[in-house]
Amino acid sequence: MAWIVPKLDWGEDDSINAADFNRIESNLATVAAYLNSIQYTMPAMTMVTNRSKTSLLFLSDINRIESNLETIRSYFITPAGFDPGKTWSRGFGFDYKDAIRLESNLKLLYELGLLAYDNLRYCGTQTCGEWGPIY
């Protein structure tokens, strides 16, 4: 899966829909796969990216998203500015601030993953003898 630019300009009047949750979970899968590819071991996580307008979202779905985000963070690095997740139960309302938090946290993890890759030294990289033959 490819990284999809997150929506970070949620407003008070915006409401999150199936496509938004698909984007969030697709980006979760992308970040987990990317970190696995650069040698950070991520456990298997369940992602749902095929919601439609007729799909129902349950508290367990939102809690799974929060849990997956927390799992990625705990197996990688906590970026500066990472806002801790919530455990959802009846009576709590999901609003635009929660959407901003989820998408911002994902973006922070993704950008930190890219930075980690840029600073990764692979086994076999020459660090001595670069200016002459190695015997």
HEC readout, the chain:
CCCCCCCCCCCCCCCCCHHHHHHHHHHHHHHHHHHHHCCCCCCCCCCCCCCCCCCCCCHHHHHHHHHHHHHHHHHCCCCCCCCCCCCCCCCCCCCHHHHHHHHHHHHHHHHHHHHHHHCCCCCCCCCCCCCCCCC
Banded pLDDT at 91 (limits 50, 70, 90)? confident
pLDDT, mean over the chain: 90
5 lies in some domain: no
Position 83 in a domain? yes
What is the structure's pLDDT at 1?
Answer: 76
Q: Are 44 and 75 in contact (CB under 8 A)?
A: no
pTM of the predicted protein model:
0.86
> Residue 104 falls within a domain, yes or no?
yes
pLDDT classification of 9: cutoffs 50, 70, 90 = very high
Residue 48 placed within a domain: yes
* Interval 25-42 mean pLDDT: 95
The C-alpha atoms of residue 29 and residue 58 are separated, in whole angstroms, by 20
> Is residue 80 assigned to a domain?
yes
Residue numbers of the domain that contains 48: 18-118
- 1 found inside a domain: no
**Structural domains of the chain, count:** 1
